[in-house]
Amino acid sequence: MPLFSPLFSLYLHVPFCVSKCSYCAFYSEPLGETPFLSNPPVSSRPFIMDSFISNPSITKWLLALSREAGYIDEIWEGRPRLRTLYIGGGTPTVLSLSQWERLLGILEGAFDFSVIEEVTVEANPCSLTEGHLRLWRDSFVTRVSVGVQSLQDDELSWLGRRHGSRMALQALEKTLSCGFDVSADLIFGLPFQTLRTWHDSLRGVAGSGVGHISAYQLTLEPGTPLARSSPSLPEGYSFYRFAQWYLPRRGLEQYEIASFSRPGKECRHNAAYWRQDPVLALGPGAWGYLSGFRYRNAPTLEEYAAWAATRPPVAEAERLGAPEGEFSQSHSRPRGVEAAILALRTKWGIDTTSFARRFGEELTEEVLGVLKKIPPRLVEFFEGGVRLTSSGMRVGNAIWVELLELADR
């Protein structure tokens, strides 16, 4: 029986990259060498990577994607209405313009964009072209997230990135000049990175005029080439603390543990995860979240395409407790603890009235009890809620450990 369709967010995974970066654990298939690396960045040519245009893997992915979108249409009553869409990867900019047109056509056919608030596309400076920017501007894309990572060429090379700092800055400049909201990703905690080089990267990106910066600490993800080489990584605390001090002075306030933005430029799609709003998933390895279930699509393109030929390609689902209002509130305990942690990641923190309405007075009191035992310089209680301070955000993981103990009681 079809289900009534509320407002959704949608994450779409593009499972292709030119080559794998040494630190990356996201699922993507490397498409191989292309001639574009010697070309100027953000080329005005319609599209550079001609060798990818008829790539059979991309064709297979697009077909499977259209099938998966068809299943979603069958399950929900009418085309689901989207609030936000995030097209990530992988590297969405390895797709040619005709592949992008096909992708956008699949999305427009399967989803209702009439109330859409934000559509983000991830872009890699080495494959972003002016053709992409023109096509996106003429469609429903509103926001571009550029994988800059660093403005130091030796750091980019060590990470296995296929672009240099000049190419990254030109990608930001071109994207901004097309009128998109622009975000840039940066990484700290590299072995030979210094506070001076980190400052240079932050200054260059903030100075470009982007409205949003995400700053991530480098971690050794199991199975990656970087983890296998086991480099000694520095303590990230001082880099993170510097970003917290520096970026607000450049107009980018911290609004989430890893996110800084100018007023009104916060990422709405990520906010859907932090609020536990319904998020649909499209593409291999994509995660979704619906009514207390977190689910994941088949993890590889092969499995995803094979499954999508006959049924929805969902590989696993984890129950985080019953939806609020169903069964007893104790069944919602793991979901409530996760909701508390997600809310505390943000500057808005936990709204205690709405938290109690969703998960009950008992769990609310327990969460507040844990937070009251934490030193006050880390946690700030205010009228109607509680949030982490800047210092608290620096030690968030230790606070999550305390809260997670509540999930098993």
Interacting residues with ligand SF4 (CB under 6 A): 17, 20-21, 24, 26, 28, 89-91, 124, 147
Query: CB 11 → ligand SF4: shortest distance, Å?
Result: 14
Query: CB 148 → ligand SF4: shortest distance, Å?
Result: 11
Nearer to ligand SF4, 21 or 167 (CB): 21
Burial 9-22 (b: 16+ CB within 10 A, else e): bbbbbbbbbbbebb
Nearer to ligand SF4, 111 or 188 (CB): 188
Nearer to ligand SF4, 124 or 208 (CB): 124
Nearer to ligand SF4, 148 or 343 (CB): 148
Nearer to ligand SF4, 185 or 366 (CB): 185
Query: CB 21 → ligand SF4: shortest distance, Å?
Result: 3
Query: CB 23 → ligand SF4: shortest distance, Å?
Result: 7
Q: Which residue is nearest to ligand SF4 (CB)?
A: 24
Query: CB 389 → ligand SF4: shortest distance, Å?
Result: 31
Nearer to ligand SF4, 15 or 334 (CB): 15
Query: CB 156 → ligand SF4: shortest distance, Å?
Result: 11
Query: CB 180 → ligand SF4: shortest distance, Å?
Result: 19
Nearer to ligand SF4, 214 or 364 (CB): 214
